[in-house]
Amino acid sequence: MNLRTLAGGLALPLGALAAQSPDMVDKIAPRTIESTWSNPKFTVAAPPPSADKFVWSTDVDPMMKGMRWYQGDAADSAYRAAYALFSRQEYRTAADRFAEVRTKYPTTRYFCDAAYYEAFARYRLGTPNDLRTAYRVLDGMGSRCADASRSEDVPELAARVDGVLARLGDGDATERVRRAASQGRRVCDREERNVKIQALSALAQMDPEGAKAILAKVLDNRDECYAPVRREALGLVARTSDASAVALLARAARSDPDFDTQAAAVDALTRIANDAAYSAIEDLLRTSTDERLQTAAARAMTRSDSPRAQASVRALAERKDVSERLRISVINSLAQQGMNGGGTPLPTEYWRSLYGKVESDELRRAVVNAVNRNSDDGMQFLLGIARGANEPPSVRELALARVRQLAPVADLYKLFEAADSRGIRQSIVAGLGSRKEPEATDRLIDIAKRGTDPEVRASAIRYLGQPARRDDPKVRKALADILGGES
């Protein structure tokens, strides 16, 4: 089979592909995939690595859907026997046995489950007659099965059955599919979609160069059910770094109707990491009006080690033509560079410069949160904000909260003496109260004995009375002096 013929499988049901080349289907959709994807609700992008060692049979595990057993029901043993056959993927015999349960025991409490599993088994068999029978069985469940354990799965299975029948030329099924689509009741066939993903991966491995045209065609298919297949295609496109790959990814990032696919395209561009890819992302940041997409692009650029990418992100933090929320997100991402990954924090001078350019208290607080307080210049910058009488109160309080447990006690006390509000002084007292240095205790004593604000003095006394200081003779003496009126 040539590449063009196999590529057709991306637009055909698996049964049609099997008709062209059964051997190829064995390669693309091995039996482990069938057992893994046998539950209509179970969605994965690829079979698990250990699938060859285990049977992933979620459609046969009663615990997966709260299967109920009815001992004493006349059909109990017949249903269990049918279910055991289904568990072993013996679909023909299982379908016949489930049908017997329905017809021989029409009042059984197993009726709805038997109907569902019969239809599912016939769907697995996939012949036109079995598919038509499966549809009739599902259609006959009606309101009687509205509350059955598998009732939520019935519409999806019915849509799958109709989809295959329509592709096989069944006029009634085609009309049902058309009517469902026009009424917004379309259901995506996740099994078929996952097989397409496997086929796409196989194509790319066979002939990477020849697969480029097919990948482009896949990305052109904007069907909502096709979005996961497009995301798989993006990863395959990103394996090359030529101009055509960048163009495909950039187009998907700008115009794909699915946001997750757009974000995946942006991530793929950052993995290519050449000037053309960065230019595409910069263009996206400049021209896109979608804040979610801008945020995804900024975060992707922040993760890059490229100086160009970093410069683009830093420029975004200064732009006044984008939302404040996006700018805050960018600042937070830049701050994370020195955390959780061994990266080098941005220098304090950068944050000092940015602080002077931003125009709102929210942005100023974001910058204050981003400064590396463990560096000497970062500490002094934050202390300067905390003592700045012209700084917004909420920004000053945040700066103080960030340094009060690390700044030298002497600096904190100087800040206390220069403070012009009760809130700042209370925050400094709280910082001193959390410190273990003897000098911190001395300063609390000074505040408790000589302060002029009773609320602040009371706070200092509460911290002096904490268990860690109760046995300190000078604390006891200070409290006694306060009681005795001494200063």
Give the CATH number of the domain where residue 27 resides.
1.25.40.10
The answer to whether 149 and 79 have CB atoms below 8 angstroms apart is no
What are the tens digits of pLDDT across the range 113-131? 999 999 999 999 999 999 9
Going by C-alpha positions, the residue among 288, 269, 252, 18 that lies closest to residue 126 is 18
Lowest mean pLDDT among 5-9, 211-215, 394-398, 460-464: 5-9
Give CA–CA dist 114/73, Å, rounded.
13
Mean pLDDT over the full length of the chain: 83
Overall domain count for the chain:
1
Q: Residues near 374 by Cβ (< 8 Å), separated by ≥ 6?
A: 406
Give CA–CA dist 224/110, Å, rounded.
36
193 belongs to a structural domain: yes
439 belongs to a structural domain: no
Tokens at 444, concatenated:
């609390």
pLDDT band at 487 (very low <50, low <70, confident <90, very high): low
430 belongs to a structural domain: no
417 belongs to a structural domain: no
11 belongs to a structural domain: yes
Distances in Å between the Cα of 360 and the Cα atoms of 82, 150, 327 are 69, 54, 11
The answer to whether 126 and 99 have CB atoms below 8 angstroms apart is no
Going by C-alpha positions, the residue among 42, 8, 39, 38 that lies closest to residue 25 is 8
Residues 314, 316, 318, 321: what is their CA dihedral angle, to the nearest 10 degrees?
180
Give me the half-sphere count of Cα atoms (radius 13 Å) on the Cβ side of residue 39.
18
Mean of pLDDT values over 172-189: 79
Give CA–CA dist 321/291, Å, rounded.
12
201 belongs to a structural domain: yes
The answer to whether 187 and 220 have CB atoms below 8 angstroms apart is no
pTM reported for the whole predicted model: 0.60
Give me the half-sphere count of Cα atoms (radius 13 Å) on the Cβ side of residue 199.
28
Structural domain boundaries enclosing 22: 1-207
Give CA–CA dist 75/110, Å, rounded.
7
pLDDT surpasses 50 at 2 = no
pLDDT surpasses 80 at 442 = yes
pLDDT at 5: 41
Lowest mean pLDDT among 89-93, 192-196, 264-268, 329-333: 192-196
Going by C-alpha positions, the residue among 67, 95, 33 that lies closest to residue 153 is 67
141 belongs to a structural domain: yes
Give CA–CA dist 410/407, Å, rounded.
8
Give CA–CA dist 138/154, Å, rounded.
7
The answer to whether 189 and 225 have CB atoms below 8 angstroms apart is yes
Give CA–CA dist 399/402, Å, rounded.
5
Q: Residues near 394 by Cβ (< 8 Å), separated by ≥ 6?
A: 361, 365
In a 10 Å sphere around its CB, with 0-12 CB exposed, 13-18 middle and 19+ buried, how is residue 157 labelled? Answer: buried
pLDDT surpasses 70 at 54 = no
pLDDT surpasses 50 at 451 = yes
pLDDT surpasses 80 at 36 = no
